[in-house]
């Protein structure tokens, strides 16, 4: 039992990190409205030729999508409030996945960097 007692304090502290401060209804509906609006903006942009053909289209779509991704992960999946180990378990593979994706796109010439090595 000594072992149990020794573990109780850190357990309680960690359990506190594990999710005492989950947001409530007021936060959830605000996030839902933001997600709805951002998706509406994305879809509208697709139908606005001036936007859709401009160079800002792809970066703006990726930014809007990233904001939605982060909002769901931080607030609905409670990663903002949960223990940092959970954050590491998610962000670690996510970074590896993103780097793999970018690496493959470079490898197959879907992305390129202009190095300016002329002459």
Is residue 88 within 8 A of residue 96, CB to CB? The reply is: no
Distance between CA atoms of residues 75 and 24, nearest Å: 10
Of residues 42 and 112, the one with the C-beta less far from other proteins: 42
Is residue 71 within 8 A of residue 35, CB to CB? The reply is: yes
Distance between CA atoms of residues 25 and 19, nearest Å: 16
Is residue 82 within 8 A of residue 17, CB to CB? The reply is: yes
Q: Can residue 25 be called a binding residue for other proteins (CB under 8 A)?
A: yes
Of residues 25 and 116, the one with the C-beta less far from other proteins: 25
Binding residue (CB under 8 A) for other proteins from 31, 51, 80, 81 = 31
The interface with other proteins within residues 61-80 (CB under 8 A) comprises 61-62, 64-65, 68-69, 72-73, 76-77
Q: Can residue 93 be called a binding residue for other proteins (CB under 8 A)?
A: yes
Distance between CA atoms of residues 46 and 57, nearest Å: 9
Residues with Cβ within 8 Å of residue 45, at least 6 apart in sequence: 51, 52, 57, 60, 61
Enumerate binding residues for other proteins (CB under 8 A). Answer: 1, 3-4, 7-8, 10-16, 18-20, 22, 24-25, 28-29, 31-32, 35-36, 39, 42-43, 45-46, 52, 57-58, 61-62, 64-65, 68-69, 72-73, 76-77, 83, 85-86, 89-90, 92-94, 96-98, 100-101, 104-105, 108, 110
């Amino acid at each position: 039992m000594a072992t149990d007692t020794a573990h109780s304090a850190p357990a309680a502290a960690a359990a506190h990190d594990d999710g005492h401060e989950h947001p409530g209804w007021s936060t959830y509906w605000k996030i839902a409205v933001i997600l709805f609006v951002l998706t509406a903006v994305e879809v509208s942009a697709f139908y606005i030729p001036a936007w859709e053909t401009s160079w800002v289209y792809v970066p703006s779509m990726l930014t809007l999508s990233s904001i939605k991704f982060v909002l769901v992960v931080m607030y609905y999946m409670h990663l903002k409030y949960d223990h940092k180990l959970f954050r590491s378990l998610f962000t670690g593979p996510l970074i590896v996945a993103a780097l793999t994706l970018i690496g493959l796109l470079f490898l197959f010439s879907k992305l390129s960097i202009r190095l300016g090595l002329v002459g």
